A and B are shown apart, each in its own frame.
Chain A
């Protein structure tokens, strides 16, 4: 055919087809999205520190293992209270003339999603130690350690933040470990990653592919969820698998008067709304229960797990007791 034997016509057509499709599936949708790129009303730009931290996050390729997107599927519920929407990424613009926009949505989840990590793990002490040596705080982690973001000094000056390294990882350290500005900025960025509540009236997309709730045939109330598993997901990274916490940072649950005592209202309140231990060296506990949207069944399972593990041997509680307290808590607004 004449058409196929004319290189100008042939290659011109192939190029035209490809370029046309490119415009339809990539260029126009991207431009369209960019034009309607409006952040949520309550969105705040990154602070100077957090912006510097984001640069470090990009430079070190953290996106290779950490996503920042809560998909609209039920299994992603653990990473945020609602699916991510386009407006969540609207504040991301080109970094500069040399570097592209970094929405950092990611394609691999070798490590946890970070969309809402600022709510889930706000503690600076936890984040710093975790950056210095992830395995010091999450034993099974395979995340790289970032010791070059820290400095060894003889004594800690005012304004410097010390990282207490557990003995196991402190070999060869003679002085004290302090965080550099880089480390503090990176943590500031992680702390800034919070899912914003949608303005009232704006519908949130639903989570799809919901797990079927298991009710047994007899119709009786189903058994409590697995407390050990919930503990691993929500509590373990601070209070540790052995319930002993971290010396000087996170209190032990083993032998704890609150866990083993009878003040259930205080106990439930701590899980739902967080806690400031009245000792300065301890980190503030975030509102784990509220953030993770734990149900009374979940909270009961966690409490009973903690009351009966690591040598603790206290009386377990029932869902009804916990539910009553949680209903009361809900009336009093947070903060």
Chain B
């Protein structure tokens, strides 16, 4: 089965965290424990949005030691493709849903002497489960968390109450900035850096660390891409003999699935590599939007990641 093992769950709780963010708690339908997971994991939530199948990845923010349920926090995106709006507007306690087993593309390196974390906005969610895990095992960490305003700084209160000396908060509205060069200069050898947030923040943190001489294996980031909206395009599925049209707000992967073709996937956000598909013929331009393929892969033009990438041109045929 593509997408891996599934967990049938019930929505136990929905909490409005602030103007933009809601928190959802999932429990098993039969009351048994949820599978254990590692801090930084995500789950793919399956949604039936009035006939449109949506599968979006969300970091699990709850304590990995708590096997009674998983919690995710979802930021409402009013101009996105609709997954967050569906969760905000239609998902209520008691509903039965299906989510994937946890997958971790942002794991803690358990050899690290210290964990230096940078979160921007909703990018705080993987750090919440990581910090819970580290708290149980006595791991050292330091979190720098920036949000637009105090009102939108989700979970800042609980973090600063639990870890007053380790959590540092910053607010764009108050012109507070992370003093990155100074923070990077003050870390012990063996520190690993983790960053999750907007693309600009990730690039800034990683580039600054690299320029300061941080070793590449000590730098970790996670960014899930929503499949970008674009022009409609037509694709030939050579293995199954079908020709499909991908709608503007639909991903190629979703269009393949809508045609009844089973295709592999995991994260659906351009990060994990599971959906990699061979290109058989291409007369046009593949718009590679993933983090998976290397520059050499893209130059060769033999592969496409259907979860986030699109096409413009005369003809595209893929091995699916």
Q: Do A and B interact?
A: no
Residue ranges of B at the interface with A (Cβ–Cβ < 8 Å):
none
